[in-house]
Amino acid sequence: MSRGIEEAAGGDVAILRLSKAILLPFVFSLGFMQPPIELLGFKAIPGDFIYLALVASIGLAIARDQLRPRWHPVFGALILYGGALALSALFSSDPWRSAVKMLTQAYLLSLPIIVVWLVRTERDFRGLVISWLLATALVGMSCLLALTLFFAAPHSALLQFMTSDFGTLPPGDYPRLRLTFMNMNLLCNYLTASLGLVFIAWRMHWLGEPQALALFILTILAATFTISPGLGGVALLAGWLLWLSLRQQHARTAVVARAAGLVAAILVIPAMAVTPILHPTAPFRFRVPGTDIILAPAGRLLTWLDACRNFVSHPLIGRGIGNDAVSVRYQNPSGFVEHLTDAHNTFLNIAVQAGLIGLGALCVLLWQLLVIFRREQRSNALVPTVLAFSFLDALAYEGLGGSFEDARHLWVLLGLLLAGTMIFKGQAGEASRRG
């Protein structure tokens, strides 16, 4: 019996192997969210159907004693977070809506558990990373196609499918890409997570240096043309990865790279909160001290303020998971009046829907991951350190300007992080051997 299935009790492990095989296309599918499939009034993506097959095969593997579930300490924080969401649903102002939403939360919270149960060896781990990066490569190549079409066939239906509206940006003759995702912000968040995995695959020799460099460039290029606030997270992670790679041989350059990424991430925050476009839906305007520049609140700031008001009115358990966090009218620079119902901030979204209890549970989870990052960094363990930083960057930092608590790829990334702490425990990896 191979080491990858050492938890199985018997010699027949065909169903367990099937479960591991199904997990690969599921992870691959995370890079493709459109076009969605309409089913019973709900929107689903192909990966959702793969997930159902995955759960069925895992259940059968457990019933046949081919898979024995294992525990990770972070599972306690996941259960706490899920319980907080369930409590908000129990006392929701719209119980049916919250009950449906809780099904999706159970789906999401099961993803890191499934990854930890099935990914037990470096071979398992490598397979999932390569599957993710294959999808990322296709997303990157679709960016090249979209840019080609923008110049060669700007009115083509395929280009319209891959581009987004300008949102809070001034309209102009430039592409803003969403590619295979529902919107550009979610695409940028996925690409942020992919950057860390590209770095791991390179340093662990799972990808050759030319392939890793090409994929890194493609990922940065695709992220750039999302023109999303998430680019602050891309800069933060890219700067940190450069520091990690160069700190031993080029210490000064490494420090500059990390500092540049941090500065870019900080500057993005006020940039997404205010706008020089004085739209009629702005409830106030203000002058920049010492200048003649007058600014108005951008759509995000309006949703943040409304979310804070709604949170104060339901501070303990919130309005109920799945209910609209805000209700804001905003005229974007293109002249269209949008009705915004999302807080555009992960923490505020959870605070309004699940109150202090839900927000506290989310912070407990993030604190545990921060502790893991510091511990793994001290032991110079490459894989879990990079994964922990990538996850905290994608959820906690990029979550300041977007609601990513329901992003499937982030919960799978969390599973890879937890599995990595068990598989690569005590291994310094290529970070120390290569410098």
Q: How much is the pLDDT for 232?
A: 97
Residue 432 vs residue 57, higher pLDDT = 57
Q: How much is the pLDDT for 11?
A: 55
Q: Quick one: average pLDDT of 359-363?
A: 98
pLDDT in tens, 62-105: 999 999 999 999 999 999 999 999 999 999 999 999 999 999 99
Residue 2 vs residue 291, higher pLDDT = 291
The pLDDT confidence band at residue 106, using thresholds 50, 70 and 90, is: very high
pLDDT at 217 over 80: yes
Q: Quick one: average pLDDT of 297-317?
A: 96
Closest CA to 201 of 186, 189, 214: 214
Ranking 16-25, 76-85, 281-290 by mean pLDDT, the lowest is: 281-290
To the nearest whole number, what is the mean pLDDT of the chain?
Answer: 93
Q: Which residues pair with 331 in a beta bridge?
A: 337
Q: Quick one: average pLDDT of 182-209?
A: 97
Q: How much is the pLDDT for 427?
A: 60
The pLDDT confidence band at residue 351, using thresholds 50, 70 and 90, is: very high
pLDDT at 36 over 60: yes
**Cα 239 from chain centroid (whole Å):** 18
The contacts of residue 286 (CB under 8 Å, 6+ apart) are 294, 295
How many Å apart are CA 157 and CA 149, to the nearest integer?
10
pLDDT at 353 over 60: yes
Q: Quick one: average pLDDT of 382-392?
A: 97
pLDDT in tens, 134-155: 999 999 999 999 999 999 999 9
The pLDDT confidence band at residue 43, using thresholds 50, 70 and 90, is: confident
Q: How much is the pLDDT for 8?
A: 47
Q: How much is the pLDDT for 10?
A: 45
Q: How much is the pLDDT for 1?
A: 34
Are the CB atoms for 231 and 268 separated by under 8 Å? yes
The pLDDT confidence band at residue 428, using thresholds 50, 70 and 90, is: low
Closest CA to 179 of 162, 166, 159, 200: 162
pLDDT at 5 over 80: no
Q: How much is the pLDDT for 249?
A: 87
Q: Quick one: average pLDDT of 160-167?
A: 92
Share of the chain above pLDDT 90, in %: 86
The contacts of residue 143 (CB under 8 Å, 6+ apart) are 177, 179, 218, 221, 222, 225
The pLDDT confidence band at residue 167, using thresholds 50, 70 and 90, is: confident
Are the CB atoms for 54 and 26 separated by under 8 Å? yes
Q: Quick one: average pLDDT of 178-203?
A: 97
